[in-house]
Chain A
Amino acid sequence: MNHFWIILIGALVGSSCSILGCFLVLRKMSMIGDAISHSVLPGIVIAFLISGSRESLVMMFGAAAIGLVTVFLIQMFQNSGVQADASIGVVFTALFAVGVVLISLYTRQVDLDLDCVLYGEIAYAPWDMLHFGGTSIGPKAVWGVGASFLLNILVISLFYKQFKISTFDPALAASLGIPVVFFHYLLMSLVSISTVASFESVGAILVVGMIIVPAATAYLLTDKLSRMIMISIILSIVSSLLGYYVAYLLDASISGTMVAVTGVLFLVALFFSPKHGVLIKKWSRRKLLQQN
């Protein structure tokens, strides 16, 4: 049973992150996922200190709030003339550092293991069961990550049109009366929430992998946004499945292996994709040369 739960958690984390990842990659903002996943740390610590509980929901709100602050700060620095990548770097390292300092200051009160936050431990996730009326209803992580997955599916499919046009052509979107800024922050809230919901099980750094890599891979494989999203979800599910078994065979870190598999799939796509593949391009060029 534990095999199943771990794979399910991995697949849910992957799917929920890669849906958002598609939009981040297309907005050339994939590093924002990285930034948010680090800068939510102080939000979690502060939420923990205020509420005194490790209740996921409280932490999630704390993190989502800081996630939005992150995006807002990055935007503000950018508007005042700082380079985009520099402002992302400054904001998330500073906030992450604040989180590290907070944890070290309150080590006694805060039962948060920095290693655990960063690298997560999906192997233990199945033991933390959620109980309802005395009976166990599955691991907490499944419910947390599952909820964020459903939230992402719901919001993205409800506003698919708006997200698509404000990603492709924000000027036209705004001129049509679509609140582009609102959707920007809505997307960022989803990223924050998904990150927090996921990091307990797979760790913050590895969430970043699931946000960027399946989406970047899917981008190589199709010319249609809806298909890109579908493919990225499938890739992330395949990665968690394969990743789990490889980790099992090698006795390696499970979440680490899952993300490593996404990387391998990316390389495969990079070389063999029918449209953008490196090999296909070379091959068709050679064929053309031979013809002449």
Chain B
Amino acid sequence: MAFPLTVNNLTVAYQKKPVLEDISFRVPEGKLIGIIGPNGAGKSTLIKAILELIPSITGDVAIFGESYKKTRKRVGYVPQRESVDWDFPTDALDVVMMGRYGHLGWFKRPDKKDKAHAMECLDQVGMSQYAHRQISQLSGGQQQRVFLARALAQDAEIYFMDEPFVGVDAATEKAIIALLMKLKSQGKTVLVVHHDLNTVKEYFDWIMLLNVKLIGIGPTEKLFTKDYLQKTYGGSLTMLDSNTSPIIVSPR
């Protein structure tokens, strides 16, 4: 059984200075993994490089043991919410339907079955009553749910989500995390860029600490310690010390 994700010696640079340096790791199946690191650590870049949205200088990535080109259909992606124009003339259901495009091939249009499937995905994130609402008339949290529903519509086995909790209220956050846990229990692998250190222990069974270099990846209880966090965040982290479970005062 191949690992869902294997990254070897990945280095990425936009200009001269690498923003990701020699990253190597492997991710086992059925884990909910938090990607954690300060602003500019390269978290979004890592996801984009894995999905070949930006070129990498060195390194290779295998998804289920094969190149991404061959495994696209098994991968779901939730970009940062600000990355799209929410004034686009379309409604929530239509956005979710875009998640089906990967399965449709070049010329096929989405049909009734795809529509029903998209509707089901909207329902799973509690958004079915907003299916026909123009997307600019949704709140930030609702837009985030639509993005999540779209990822569900991709029917993937490994998911990459870039900050799905930004601008989301506590109830929505809990609903989303419950959904991610459900995906995990179905044996899917979910990688989530996450900023709130206070909820890390509760949400993720694995974490990946990133700051240009890979600081560490593994079970949360092993890596979520003062030492590792200090290494990841440098001086910008203030903690009220209680060695085993650090209480974070200002994570940024």
Contacts and interface: CB of A to CB of B under 8 A. Distances in A.
Interface stretch (B71-79, B122-130, B182-190): B71-79
A176 B106 CA distance: 11
B51 A175 contact: yes
Interface string A128-164: 0000000000000000000000000000001011101
Interface in B90-132: 90-91, 94-95, 98, 101-102, 104, 106-107, 109-110
Contact of A176 (B48, B83, B90, B101): B101
Interface stretch (A84-92, A111-119, A216-224): A216-224
Given A169-B98, A177-B102, A224 B90 contact: yes
Interface string B24-58: 00000000000000000000000010011100000
B98 A168 contact: yes
Given A174-B53, A175-B51, A177-B102, A169 B90 contact: no
A158 B72 contact: no
A175 B77 contact: yes
A161 B109 contact: yes
Nearest to A180: B53
B123 to A, nearest CB: 21
Given A169-B79, A169-B98, A178-B101, A225 B90 contact: yes
Contacts of A219: 89
5 contacts: A158-B107, A168-B98, A171-B53, A177-B102, A225-B88
B69 A177 contact: yes
Interface of A is mostly: helix
Interface in B180-227: none
B134 interface: yes
Interface residues of A, number: 26
A140 to B, nearest CB: 34
Given A168-B90, A225-B89, 8 more contacts: A161-B104, A161-B109, A169-B79, A169-B83, A169-B84, A172-B98, A224-B91, A225-B88
B89 A176 contact: no
A26 B85 contact: yes
Contacts of B77: 171-172, 175
A165 B101 CA distance: 9
Contact of B98 (A160, A165, A228): A165
B143 to A, nearest CB: 12
A175 B160 CA distance: 11
A17 B52 CA distance: 34
Nearest to A221: B89
A223 B91 contact: yes
A225 B101 CA distance: 17
A171 B69 CA distance: 15
B101 A161 contact: yes
B107 A175 contact: no
A70 B51 CA distance: 29
